[in-house]
Structure 1
Amino acid sequence: MRPFTEVLNELCNNPPDGRGKVTNVALAAAVKARGGDIGHGYISQLRLGVKDNPTCQAIVDLAGALGVHPAVFLGGRRELHPAEQPGWRPTAVSTLFEAVHPPDRGPWSPEEVAASISSSGQFGSISASYIRELLSNTSDNPRLKHILGLADHFGADPAYFLDDDLAARVDSELTDFLALRELGVVEFVTRLAERTGDLSPQARAAAVEGFRQALEVGEGWSFPLNSRRTSADHT
């Protein structure tokens, strides 16, 4: 993903509406006209890279003043739909917590996610209590590095947190994924992949066929490959 300062400078120097370069003072005035409050001094620091961790609301205000979708600052789309008013998606964090976790356990805890993000060293620090606030929607204005850290932990596109179009596609895929996980497909595929080197082609084919039959008759499935390959696998 391109640095925030690079995207902001490009948009100020080449505004999408074809007007001339947008100065820091003019951009601050445009933000204020939209009801925001970002001083031209802070905009200057963002453009110079002195500051690099704006809040979500600041990103939305700057994007709105420049006539672009805020997802552009997160590697996403630039164009706005008519009358579109994008912002922080309040269900994004809870959806990822529910859907994205290892197949052999339940959802990550806020403590685990906070520790993972903070220990990486790429996205600053975030506390478990703040993640709980995002989950409960008592907070809706995370900073850029918080968004990037959450996206990195869950393997999500950072623009997912701001772009309804992208979110609709991702959430549809997650719904299908959850259905497959409920049926045991995810666990089956994961376990089979782990054992690929231990199994003959015949054993792998037998496992897949057994799983297919279990799904057809609606029975539960217990992965049967609990021991290493034996000579019987070759028969």
Structure 2
Amino acid sequence: MFGILGVFGVGVSIIIIAIGGGFSGSGPSILHPSTAADLWTVGQGIKQGTVLNYSLTGIGSRSSLINALVSMNFVQDTGSAWKVNFYIHNDSVAKNGSVLLAKQQLTNVGSIDSSFKAYYEPVESSVLSIRDIAREPKYLAIGAPWDSIFVAFSSIPIRVTDHETLQTTAGTFDAFTLSYTIGSKTSKIFITHQIPLPVRAEVYDSEGRLQYQYELVGKRLQ
């Protein structure tokens, strides 16, 4: 009898894990499962004329931007890609450049002009780095796993850990927090169904140093 119950119990546990999609915390359950409406995709909802403006500090090994304003203007639909005009400026630099970004995942199409590359790289490794985490549609639901990062010999999960009303200078958003902790520092990325890229982030490297932080400060959604 105990053997039968033991096997049955294991079977039930496996089914619950499978139905829950591996979620942890107070996320989706059998009674309230996630649906397609909970999925978020990089670049979703972009139309010709969409503009996203960010304040950005990005510190990289090859180039950095400190207290910069980055404007992304999706000016032309080329079929499978967007032509995006970037305007990047702070107290010491002002630079314009155009980049083709694929409609799927907003990945680069073709090469980046050499005169613009040093200014584009801090944007690519911060605001656009969500492409490396959300390589396919992901659930915006507490407990939903998004990815893992490897530090030394440890695998650290990246999950949705919170749901809140987020106030920014660009507006008020119903946002979910994607986070992970390395040492004493917790990195956070805030995502909403309302915007095709994250609205805020503060991310640290494995040594606990600020890697980048940004916030949406203005927008035009078509």
- Both structures adopt the same fold (TM-score exceeding 0.5): no
Larger radius of gyration: 1
Q: Scaled by the length of structure 1, what TM-score is found?
A: 0.23
More helix as a share of residues: 1
More strand as a share of residues: 2
